[in-house]
Amino acid sequence: MERLTRQRIAIATVIEAARRPLSPQEICDAAQAHVAGLGVATVYRTLKAMIAEGAVRGVELPGEPPRYEPTGLGHHHHFRCDGCARVFDFDACPGGLDALAPKGFVSERHEFVLYGKCPECAARKRGVGTRARR
């Protein structure tokens, strides 16, 4: 198989399997298990093509570079771990948020992010698990 195709398949597989939005570096690290020597520049290039095709979308948290997830996931929200900086999906939604819009405004969608500790980081002793990881 052509190297370009193998790279593309590896990147798509990593994004699909993650079940959470990944940074380009996380995608690169995981895809290297499939394609040795894969570089982050290739990941960026491939992501750009996949976004243009509508297969992948960016997830933007305030003040952070975008992470990427497959399009076509159902309605869901994100949890960012302050311990390891990973972002996770969750399906729960309070609903009824449209009703919070000021009088006369028509709310059509919403976004929110929960911040805290993932189970791994929460299990670590306080003050020990604060290393940053992308």
Interface with Zn ion (CB under 5 A): 81, 83-84, 93, 118, 121
- The distance of closest approach from Cβ of residue 102 to Zn ion in the complex, given in angstroms and rounded to an integer, is 19
The residue (of 15 and 121) whose beta carbon lies closer to Zn ion is 121
Exposure string (b/e) for 23-54, b if CB count within 10 Å is 16 or more? Answer: bbebbbbbbeeebeebeeebbeebbeebeeee
The residue (of 54 and 94) whose beta carbon lies closer to Zn ion is 94
- The distance of closest approach from Cβ of residue 2 to Zn ion in the complex, given in angstroms and rounded to an integer, is 37
The residue (of 44 and 130) whose beta carbon lies closer to Zn ion is 130
CB atoms within 10 A of CB 120: 12
- The distance of closest approach from Cβ of residue 8 to Zn ion in the complex, given in angstroms and rounded to an integer, is 29
